[in-house]
Amino acid sequence: MFEVVAFWWMTRLKGPATRSLCLIVALSGLLLLGSQAANAAPNWTLDPSASVITYQSVKKNTIVETNKIRNITGTLSSAGDAKVTFDLNSVDTGVDLRNVRMRFLFFETFKYPTAELTAKVDPAAFADLATKRRVKSTLPFRLNLHGVDKDLEASIVVTMISDNMVSVASETPVAVHVEDFGLLPNVDKLQQAANVTNIVPTASVSFDFVFTADGSKPAAAQTVAASTADVGPVATDAAKANFSDEECLNRFTVLSRTGAIYFRPASTRLDAKSRPLLTEVEGVVGKCPSLKVEVSGYTDSDGSPDANKLLSERRAQAVADALIAEGIPRNQIRAAGYGEDRPVAANDTPKNKALNRRIEFSATKLVN
C-alpha cells in the first residue's frame, strides 16, 4: 500500500522535484536581480531543514497515500544554473519494510541512488520579484531518474521571503508518468511484493523549497516550514552501524525480489551486471552480524530435475563465494540449491520461467 504511494511519489517526484528545482532557480535568479546588482549576484543553496517534497500515489484505484523524500540538496548559481539532487535512499513512508520496497524494487537504488533536476533560469522572467514579492511562472527543467533524462515543465510560485531567502513551491500538484522513466516493470514488482493491485502509473507531487543566499544564516528559514511534519534530512542505511534483526529480514526479503542477480544461460558464472546488487547485499550482511545468511538458488522446470538442482546449487555457491571474497565471514554464509522446487509462478511462459530462475536470501540466528 505504501509501496504504491512511494512509487507514485517517485514518479511525481521526478516531475515536481524538477519543477521545484526550476522554481528555486528562477526564484534565486529573481532575487539576485531584484535586490542586488547583477554583477554582485550571490549563489544560492537549498535549506533542507526548511524544504519539503510530498508525493501521493493511488492503489486499488481509489486508495490514496502520501509520503516524502527527506534528503534533498540543491544549488543555484549567480548565472542561473540550477541543480537539485534527491537521495532516493531517504524515501520515507513511515514504515521500514515499505521504505525498503520503494528503494530496492521501485527506484532500484543499488543502481540509481539519486534523481537529479537541472534547469537554466532566465532572470528576466523574475525581474519584478523584488517589488511584487510573489511571482507565478512556468519553468522548463530536465529530470534524470532511473538513468533516463526527460525534459518537463512546471507551474511554480516564487515568493521572496526576505532579501536573502526565497521559496519555490508548486502552484498545483504535478503529474509524472512512470513509463517515461522505464519504471513500469518495477510497479509490477511493488504490486507482487506488497500484494496489492491496480497501482496507478502516474503520481502527483507537491513541493516547497527554500533557498538562502550563500553567506546568510539558514536557521531563519526553519520557521517557514515549521508547520510541516518530518521536514529535513533523515539518517539512511549508510549511517547505521548495524541493523536490528527485523531490519535485516526486511532487507533480505526485498533484495530477493529484485531479480538483479544474473548468470549466463545454463551457466554458473556471475554476470558483471550482478555487481551493484551484490555490493548492496554485502553491506546488509555486514550490518547483520548476529544472523547467518542462506543464499538459495532456484531454476525453472526446463531440463531434468537432477540437472536443475545441481545448477541451482552451483549458482547459489557462486553468489556465496562472491560475498566471502568481499570480506563476509565464511561462517555467516551458506549456499543451498532447490532446483525447480518452490516455483513462484507457473512455468508456462518465458516471463514466468524467468521469475522462477532466481537467487534468494534468508537469515537465521547465528549459532556460535
39-69: pLDDT as tens digits: 456 799 999 999 988 888 888 888 888 889 9
- Among 28-42, 221-235, 339-353, where is mean pLDDT lowest? 28-42
Q: Is the pLDDT of residue 31 over 50?
A: no
User: Would you list the domain boundaries of the chain?
Assistant: 2-238, 240-365
Is the fold of 2-238 the same as that of 240-365?
Answer: no
pLDDT in tens, 284-320: 999 999 999 999 999 999 999 999 999 999 999 999 9
pLDDT at 217: 65
Task: Please give the C-alpha separations between residue 178 and each of 39, 62, 93, 164, in angstroms, as whole numbers.
Answer: 41, 18, 19, 36
What is the model's pLDDT at position 16?
38
Give alpha helix (H) positions in the chain: 2-12, 18-35, 96-101, 129-132, 184-194, 245-255, 275-286, 305-325, 350-356
In this predicted structure, what is the pLDDT of residue 42?
A: 77
Question: Which residue in the block uniquely carries the three cell numbers 566471502?
Answer: 324
Q: What angle do CA 216, 86, 361 make, to 5 degrees?
A: 140
The CATH class of the 240-365 domain is alpha beta
Whether 277 shows a pLDDT value over 60: the answer reads yes
Mapped onto helix, strand or coil, the DSSP state of residue 331 is helix
Q: Give the domain 2-238 fold.
A: Lipocalin (2.40.128)
Residues 77-109 have pLDDT tens digits of 888 899 999 999 999 999 999 999 999 999 999
Query: Rounded to an integer, what distance in angstroms lies between the CA atom of residue 261 and that of residue 315?
Result: 10
Mean pLDDT to the nearest integer, 112-130? 87
Question: Taking Cα atoms as reference points, which of 151, 211, 217 lies closest to residue 30?
Answer: 211
